[in-house]
Structure 1
Amino acid sequence: MFFSIIIPLYNRPQEIDELLHSLTKQTYLQFEVLVIEDGSKNDAKAIVESYRNQLDVHYFFKENEGQGFTRNYGFERAKGDYFIIFDSDCLIPSNYLEEVKNYLYDHHLDAYGGPDAAHESFTPVQKAISYAMTSPFTTGGIRGNKKHIGQFHPRSFNMGVSRTVWEKVGGFILTRLGEDIEYSIRIHESGFKIGLIPNAIVYHKRRTSFSQFYKQLHFFGRARINIYKHFPAELKLVHFFPAVFTIGFIFTIVCNILYWPLGFVCNFFLLLYFMLIFFHSWSVNKSLKVAFLSSISSFIQLTAYGLGFIQDFIKRVVLKQQ
């Protein structure tokens, strides 16, 4: 089984250096790497070329189109039986391809996704953000979880599709705003089998600051409405949770100003909720600092996603704007 690893890249030379270095440690060696620079001003050509003696690596530069169409560019040039997509801010464990190969031999999948985790080298903020995106107490708990709700939709930071899927379904038709979910829904609807490979873990850095994390999650909230416009049945109750939390938080503030007894009750439940997050993160990360930061990152995740969701729900669903 031969893999083609496809990595879209935009102005992140340091990230691709770390990612390629992690790929030199793979125990399974039947793979190539395609790095597609998506119109970057700060390109990584020299860094990628420096790995030619360690990896079967190919560098391409194209005009900026966004990550979805950049992955398609890689699909068109890949030689593998499976195309594996990574985000440039991932680190790949040495046994990743071995785990994927063994799983695919034992359980046929036409497309797959894998979980993400925090690496020991991550900063406390990165570990807290990783917690917020994978915790059972936030909507992140449904990502890469064996007990996912409804159909499993691989996410493009860690996703694989067979050549057969590419030939019959094609690639991404959206370049951003939920392009990976839209793609996996079309793969499902074409009759292909998609599943989670539990041990195909990547270490996903995500964002390095809370301000960047807020912008990303606000975008994710808007992306969910974009998916709804293409596939209305894919909007589930769980996707409303961050919006409900956000509205509840605003209601709590109003109550504290206008009617403090009700505000006191709301404060109690908010405090209880974030205490659960704090102690769960402490047990997972073994760090009081990360546990404290996890409370902040979870709040940001819920409110940023909720505000993005509400914004585009009003604009695109209620007001019917394009």
Structure 2
Amino acid sequence: MLRVSLIIPAYNEQERIADCLRNAIIQTVPAHEILVVDNKSTDNTVQEVERVMEQYPDAPVRLLHQNAEQGLVPTRNFGFDHATGDVLGRFDADCMLRPDWVEQVSALFEHNPQAMGATGPVTYYDMPAKQFSLRSDDSVRRHTFRAEHNEVLLFGSNMAIRATAWQQIRTSVCRDEADIMHEDIDLSLHLLSADLATVYSKHMVCSISARRMDTSFSSFIAYMKRFKHTFKAHPDHRRKRKSEHVLIAAYPALHTLYPLYRKYLDHMDINPAERMWMRERINFDIDDQWFD
């Protein structure tokens, strides 16, 4: 079985990093390593990571520090460069992996030697109707989150890349000093430019926070414009459909619902990230081996 490294860039993520790490640790197949790359956090992110490492002393969690410069791209690259697995999984510090994520990713790359990058659908753990959300996201990513010849674009909150593919493109990915691009799409287009195949798997499931919807409309639109900026930086690539149109259409409803649902969760004293995959962990019958 291929070894899967998990890379988690983190900046001021004290609220969710512990839940994120527990979901990464308690998997049907353990990760080869879990690298948290702190990028000069000013809150208690580092202390939260250290607390989880003390709680799970046998888990392969390592805390790295990328202090040379502020930014997601250099922090991601730092993590990728320090990883030692055959496959590099990358997601955000507020994401919760499904309990079989590592198993699914390892099998995907092992059974498909041509696959150099992979991604899958997501749902929101801090919103209602999670199964509907997952089906909707799966449909969007299958039909619109594509480049010109229907090539799969990777989603940074739920993606993996073969280590050999990263070594091939690591010096060519855009640095994006202006911070106006989607780093995951940029990486995808560099893979495609190098004739490295990207694939989609509905079994590679992750849950994310809907906190992006809790921003102002102008801020959300500015974030959506990153699609345009990224493709503008890659004039050799085009796309037939624009995923941001779907997201912009969904913004009003999600923007209204998110704070209301968060109030409900707070009133009921529910940690949505902690309970997200509880039923699946029971169904998978995972032994919490790290407590032994």
Structure number with bigger Rg: 1
Does the 8 A contact of 1:3 with 1:32 survive in 2?
yes
Give every structure 1 segment of 4 or more consecutive aligned residues whose post-TM-superposition deviation is greater than 6 Å: none
Q: 2 CA distance for matches of 1:135 and 1:100?
A: 22
Aligned ranges for residues 302-321 of structure 1 at < 5 Å? none
- Structure 2: 5+ residue runs without aligned partners? 258-292
Instruction: Normalising by structure 1, report the TM-score.
Output: 0.66
Farther-moved stretch of structure 1 (232-241 vs 58-67): 232-241
SS of match in other structure, 1:59? strand
TM-score (norm. length: structure 2) = 0.72
Does structure 1 conserve the Cα–Cα contact (< 8 Å) formed by 2:155 and 2:184?
yes
1:185 has 2:189 as partner: yes
Aligned amino acid, residue 183 of structure 1 = L
1:96 to 96, 101, 114: 101
* Secondary structure, counterpart of 1:166 in structure 2: helix
Give secondary structure in 1 for the equivalent of 2:38. strand
What are the equivalent positions in structure 2 for 1:1-322 lying under 5 Å apart? 1-52=2-53, 53-63=57-67, 64-108=69-113, 109-119=115-125, 122-124=126-128, 131=133, 135=136, 141-143=139-141, 145=142, 149=146, 150-170=150-170, 172-175=173-176, 176=179, 177-207=181-211, 210-212=213-215, 214=217, 217-232=220-235, 234-239=237-242, 242=245, 296-297=253-254
Greater relative contact order: 1 or 2 (C-alpha under 8 angstroms, separation 6 or more)? Answer: 2
C-alpha separation in 2, matches of 1:99 and 1:239: 28
Name the structure where helix makes up a greater proportion of residues: 1
Tell me the distance in 1 between the aligned counterparts of 2:186 and 2:135.
Answer: 21
Per-residue deviation, 1:213: 6.8
Q: Secondary structure at the match of 2:15?
A: helix
Root-mean-square deviation (CA), in Å?
A: 3.3
- Percent of aligned positions that are identical: 20
**Tell me, what secondary structure is at the counterpart of 1:50?**
helix
Alpha carbons of structure 1 residues 33 and 225: separation in structure 2 relative to 1, 3 Å: same
- Give the AA of the match of 2:254: S
Asked whether the 8 Å contact 1:89–1:206 carries over to 2, the reply is: no
Structure 1 pair 142–105 and aligned structure 2 pair: CA distance change class (3 A): same
Partners of 1:216 and 1:89 lie apart in 2 by 20
Paired AA for residue 46 in structure 2: K
Contact 1:146 1:198 in 2 (8 A): no
Contact preservation (8 Å) 1:113, 1:197 = yes
Shift of 1:142: 2.9
Structure-2 residue corresponding to 1:281? none
